Amino acid sequence: MITLSINGETREVDVEADMPLLWVLREELGLRGTKFGCGISQCGACTVHVDGKAVRSCVTPVSLVAGSEVRTIEGLGTPEAPHRVQQAWIDHQVPQCGYCQSGMQMAAAALLEEIPEPTDEDIDKRITNICRCGCYERIRAAVHTSAKGA
């Protein structure tokens, strides 16, 4: 058994220690908002927070996050009380197909915790997630709006 803290709740999972966190979230805990894209740490679709830092869950063994605070998109905000990043995403109508967007929002929220007013260069350097629909301009604009809403 591995004990995890996910979105503020304690959860126990009976899995191999090296199972990727992404699999645990999606298949064991039913948290399907975190997406599988490449599985090799390239695309960022699987981004979650571990102790406030953006982490690619497809290459993170679950045993590494025991004792840490894990936050997924389900814990970022709610439809009634969206996180400022989510509100900015809505205001800018950022998503196209939407597949990459939960990972993008997690990456953006973590960036703003570290750099409250990021420049375009900071955003490009720190949010390396891939959007196959090419929504990068709207993502940048939404990050700037989120920063102002701090």
CB 40 within 8 A of CB 18: no
Positions 56 through 85 that interact with ligand FES (CB under 6 A): 56, 58
Closest CA to 9 of 22, 25, 27: 25
Strand 9-13 relative to strand 2-6: parallel, antiparallel, unpaired? antiparallel
Identify the residue among 60, 72, 86, 101 touching ligand FES (CB under 6 A): 101
| 97 sits near ligand FES (criterion: CB under 6 A) | yes
Least CB distance to ligand FES at residue 9 (A): 23
11: helix, strand or coil: strand
Nearest distance, CB of residue 144 and ligand FES, angstroms:
18
Please identify which residue in the block is written with the tokens 């939404």. 142
Does residue 49 touch ligand FES according to CB under 6 A?
A: no
Interface residues with ligand FES (CB under 6 A)? 36-39, 41-46, 56, 58, 95-101, 131-133, 135
